[in-house]
């Protein structure tokens, strides 16, 4: 900072010149540092801006009941229509909603699970008032009458709107589900906890259904 003036002080003009040079050098280094700081600040600002700011809806669909899946897909299609990125993560009983009737080779235990789990969105039970399948039939009838889109229709719509569907591979292994018995869905991937956490972390809305 305070650079010592040259030893020879007899010529005041020479000394003034030196001081001028020293000041110039100092100014240059200061301006370089301030530039460096401003780029650092800009980088920090962009990090802060992106934290929890991504216009994205992430959903864990854990439940395999019709009512919860209606809620999940109403929000998914609604968010996609709002221009948000939507990422759904299907796990445990939720995976049943993505099944389609298909014959696949399985072990006896897997076959038993496969037989007990609903084969697709059309076969889902209600979480309440299921009444041995009478409840869902009634709800479906009312939905049709009231103009509420069915889960199957909303899955088709989700495809069109670019809703991303991820399926937990661990759940599939546990329940003995094979990729061949899941519906055709363009943006469907198999993933684990890390993929969900990484995807959901910067998003604004995350739901567990």
Chain residues in the site for other proteins (CB under 8 A) = 74-75, 77-78, 80-83, 146-149, 157, 160-161
Three-state SS at 85: strand
2 φ, ψ (degrees, to nearest 5)? -85, 95
Q: How far is the CB of 187 from other proteins (least distance, A)?
A: 17
Q: Toward other proteins, which CB reaches closer, 161 or 183?
A: 161
Please say which residue, 105 or 146, places its beta carbon nearer to other proteins: 146
Residues 6+ apart with CB under 8 A from 70: 143, 148, 151, 154
Residue 178 neighbours by CB under 8 Å, 6+ apart: 104, 106, 172
Q: Output the smallest distance, CB 52 to other proteins, in A.
A: 17
> What are φ and ψ of residue 136, in 5° steps?
-60, -40
Shortest reach from residue 85's CB to other proteins, in Å: 13
- Residue 74 or 207: the one with the smaller Cβ distance to other proteins is 74
DSSP for 187-202 reads TEEEE-HHHHHHHHTT
Query: Would you say 86 or 172 has its CB closer to other proteins?
Result: 86
Beta carbon of residue 154, minimum distance to other proteins (angstroms, whole number): 9
């Amino acid at each position: 900072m305070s650079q010592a003036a040259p030893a020879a002080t007899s010529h005041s003009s020479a000394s003034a010149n030196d001081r001028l040079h020293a000041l110039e050098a100092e100014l240059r280094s200061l301006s370089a540092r301030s530039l460096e700081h401003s780029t650092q600040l800009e980088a920090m600002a962009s990090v802060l801006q992106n934290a929890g700011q991504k216009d994205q809806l992430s959903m864990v669909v854990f439940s395999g009941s019709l009512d919860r899946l209606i809620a999940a897909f109403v929000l998914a299609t609604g968010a996609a229509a709002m221009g948000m990125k939507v990422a759904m993560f299907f796990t445990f009983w939720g995976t049943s909603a993505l099944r389609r009737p298909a014959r696949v080779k399985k072990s006896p235990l897997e076959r038993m699970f496969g037989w007990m789990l609903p084969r697709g969105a059309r076969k889902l039970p209600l979480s309440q008032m299921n009444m041995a399948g009478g409840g869902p039939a009634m709800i479906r009838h009312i939905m049709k009458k009231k103009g509420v889109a069915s889960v199957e229709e909303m899955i088709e719509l989700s495809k069109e709107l670019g809703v991303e569907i991820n399926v937990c591979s661990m759940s599939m292994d546990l329940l003995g589900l094979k990729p061949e018995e899941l519906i055709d869905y363009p943006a469907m991937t198999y993933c684990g906890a890390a993929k969900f956490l990484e995807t959901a972390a910067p998003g604004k809305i995350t739901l567990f259904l």
